[in-house]
Amino acid sequence: MSRAGLVALILMTASVAHADLEDDLGLGPEAAALGGAVTAVPVGFASLHYAPALLAYRGMRPGGAELQIGYVFGSPVLHVTGLDGAPINTARIAETSSVVIGARFDLAHELGLEGLVGAIAISTPVSSMFSYTVRPDDDVQWMTLTDGSSHLSIEAGLAYRPVEWLSFGIAARLALAVELFTSAVVTHVDTYVDATTGDNIIDVGTRIGARGAVSARVSPIASVAVMPIPELRIGVTYRGASYVDDWGWSRVQGVPGLGDIGYVHRFAHWVRPHEVSIGAAVRPIPALELSADLTWEHWAEATTGNFDAAPGRFGDIFVPAVGVRVTVIAGLDVLAGYRFVRAPFSNFGGPSNLLINDTHHASLGLAAALDTLTGQADLPFTLRGSFRLSILDEAREEKDFRRFRNDASWTGNPGYPGYVFGGVVPSVQISAEARW
Amino acid sequence: MVKRSAGLALLVGSLLSCGPSSDGYAFVREEHCPPDCDASTDAGHDAGRSDAGPPDVPDEPLEDWDLTDAGPLTGIYALEVAVLANVVVDLETRQLYRVRMLQHGTSVRVRLQACVIDLASIRGLADLHFTPAAEGAIRRHVIDLEGDYLTAADPIGATFRPPRTFVTIGADLAMPDTDPLPTMADAALALDEDADGNPGVTIDATAVVCPSPEQVFAAFRASIALSGVVSDLEAFDGTVDPSIEQSVLGYTNDCLRVAANLVVTIRPGSAFHAHRVGAAQDLDGNGNISCPEVAWAGASLFGDYWAR
């Protein structure tokens, strides 16, 4: 099979990406295997997201370029069980199956500036460039694991290392915002009684028109890396909030007795909030590298998909992560990582039923540089694979009458009287990288 | 060393204590009456229509009327008025009254009290309901009439036709039956009858054009002119010539601007149904059937409409 045919096959089998790839599953198997503790660890093109300064890391191969093609598969196994023991149905929880393509290239020769490196990455749901679903906040639904924000993600950036021990990097993450305007002109209004059900029916005839537009929304990423000695790196990364608006209006014109009526809708599809990561990596012996990260995530400013700020229910979190890389033999690395993400949202017994758990991410991975491993310089390829198990701590939600205006809305809530929810999300990634 | 340990403890504590906090998420009420509760003994409930359980019945003794030689029509009736109206589309809205009657020959003394006035709602598009405080204010309006309202001393087969009666709510007018209602532009004569700090009486409004439940402040004038043949002393029907005027004095969200300008027009064909009430509806056993008891009995007397 030709290389083009292989790529086409992979693209055909890929479906919609669901959870946020970069942060929930990891962008590329190397970052995934290290638990995302890569603010101070160069991970090829994937450093675009975690630490763009490390696109130009100390000790990099000058004049080189890399192209990596990868595949991600995740299959959530989740449950929501009512307090009476009966399962509660939620919106379909689909598997994540996505393709990631990334490239990193030294621009020193092309632009005449030593230490300048560029990179680009695309992770894409293939069936559609983006797909946003918004349900009422009181629908029992997984907050990040369904199709609330399956989307194309494009990142591109530059890094510059003016001196051996210091580099800077910037990147941009692209998302797509939506505007939709619907107009309808009333042609007739009739009322009648349904012969079968006896219900009063209002039959409104309209002539409908619609106008839509998709626009880009860019969020910035910036980082600094300090590498005082080859065995020690320290990094700081800022990632701007990544979310898109979905807004517009629906208007019905010429309603008898009313004139024009309608409403403006505004939804928000949150991918990530503002984040700041600090990290350090040390190599105490040549065969061992240890890394640790701490990320502050500013979820307090987020909204639900229905643009509800949900006061008190979102909160900032700190995310610790650690990673270890062991070089077993020259050219073969074993990687492992752990990451703990506290739930940034709680329903607190109120009307909303958005499900998100405290989550432990444990991961393992392998990286094999074929040229080093085999001693054949004409095999400049690296194969990587990772397995990550995300364990969702079981959480309990109990509806509190004090958060409802009356008993009817309390007992009528889809989550009444309460439920427990949790599960696991196993995911695997594989990639092949070619170097020039 | 101690300082270093304290710093580490602070860092670990910060990591564990971060995340959402309910401190910024205020409760909307502290008491309620859950399903199967007994509101007469359970102090905690919001007294809203949606709560389960029988209502609180205030201590209202029966009017001290002289019943000597009273005719057979004498008694307390629950009166349902079904008003046919049009608000963009044709719809029906209903009202419940407590009517106490004292008959002597063709003369009838009538005390009329509005218990529940359902507003013209288009279910699913715009649902409007008086707040519990506003319903309480409406029930304080009592109309007394006396005259020859029966066409014969024997009420069976006679026509019962009292004069038109008006109820004006949320306005302090010199001539309540005819003076113009206050408006948003000139609310000087608006009366905060439900004592909630807003002009007029307050209506809970859930409209498809609004992102959340809102409130409308309004003044109303409703009238009914009843006419019916007494076919049975326990229950009889008739026709009604109703009128409804409303004036919106304010709202909590501009999304209600269009809805506030809706005009209610009355269609012909409105009717009333009167049903005598007694011990079965006397929840507190004091010999009087007061408005909360009439409202509670609405479903059993007049059907599922009042079970909503």
Chain A residues inside the 8 Å CB shell of B26: 312
Task: Note whether B25 contacts A: Cβ–Cβ < 8 A.
Answer: yes
Q: Please, how many CA atoms are within 13 Å of residue A418, restricted to the half-sphere of its CB?
A: 13
pLDDT at A258: 66
Give the residue from B245, B297, B290 showing the smallest Cα distance to B139. B290
> In chain B, which residue's Cα lies nearest the Cα of A261?
B258
Judged by a CB distance cut-off of 8 A, whether residue B62 touches chain A is no
Count of H-run helices and E-run strands, chain A: 6, 21
Residue (of A123, A217, A205, A143) closest to A392 by Cα position = A143
Chain centroid to Cα A98, Å, comes to 12
Question: Do the chains contact at A311 and B24, CB–CB below 8 Å?
Answer: yes
Joined tokens for residue A245: 């608006």
Structure confidence at residue A344 as a pLDDT band (50, 70, 90) = very high
Residue A315, min C-alpha distance to chain B (Å): 4
pLDDT at residue B44 is higher than 50: no
Q: Name residue B147's amino acid.
A: G
A262 contacts chain B (CB < 8 A): yes
C-alpha A194/C-alpha A183 separation (Å) is 28
Model pLDDT for residues A88-98, shown as the tens digit of each residue: 888 777 777 78
- Which residues does B118 contact at the CB level (< 8 Å), separation at least 6? B93, B94, B95, B129
| B50 interfacial to chain A (CB closer than 8 Å) | yes
Which residues numbered 156-215 in B keep a CB inside 8 Å of some CB on A?
208-209, 213
Overall size of chain B counted in residues:
308
User: For B277-302, what is each residue's pLDDT tens digit?
Assistant: 999 889 888 999 999 889 888 888 99
pLDDT in tens, A158-203: 999 999 999 999 999 987 777 888 888 888 877 777 788 777 677 7
Interface contact A343, partner B, CB < 8 A: yes
What average pLDDT does the segment B177-187 reach?
A: 90
**Which whole number is the average pLDDT over A49-54?**
96
Which pLDDT belongs to residue B85?
A: 85
Which chain A residues contact residue B127 at CB under 8 A? none
The better pLDDT of the pair B219, B24 is held by B219
Q: Do A346 and B20 touch (CB under 8 A)?
A: yes
CB within 8 Å: A312 and B88: no
The verdict on B255 touching A (C-beta cutoff 8 Å) is yes
Decide if B22 and A258 are in contact by the 8 Å CB cutoff.
no
Looking at A166-180, A312-326, B218-232, B233-247, which range is the least confident one?
A166-180
Q: Does A189 touch chain B (CB under 8 A)?
A: yes
Task: State pLDDT tens for residues A228-247.
Answer: 999 999 999 999 998 877 78
CA distance B147 to chain A (A): 41
> Does A188 contact chain B (CB < 8 Å)?
no
Residue A428 corresponds to which tokens in the numbers above? 């695997």
From A202, A320, A401, residue closest to B34, measured CB to CB:
A401
Residues B233-265: tens digit of each pLDDT: 999 999 999 988 889 999 998 888 777 777 788
Q: What is the DSSP string of A117-173?
A: EEEEEEEE-SS-SEE-----TTS-EESSSSGGGEE-EEEEEEEEEEETTEEEEEEEE
Residue A262, pLDDT score: 75
B8 contacts chain A (CB < 8 A): no
ipTM for the whole complex: 0.74
Higher pLDDT, B305 or B79: B79
What residues of chain B lie within 8 A of the CB of A310, using their CB? 25
Please compute Rg for chain A using Cα positions.
25
- Asked if A104 has any chain B CB less than 8 Å from its own CB, the reply is no
Q: Which residues of chain B does A305 touch, with a Cβ-Cβ cutoff of 8 Å?
A: none
Chain A CA closest to residue B207: A263
Residues of chain A contacting B88 with CB distance shorter than 8 Å? 189, 255-258
Does B19 sit within 8 Å of A406, measured CB to CB? no
Chain B nearest-CA distance from A293, in A, is: 13
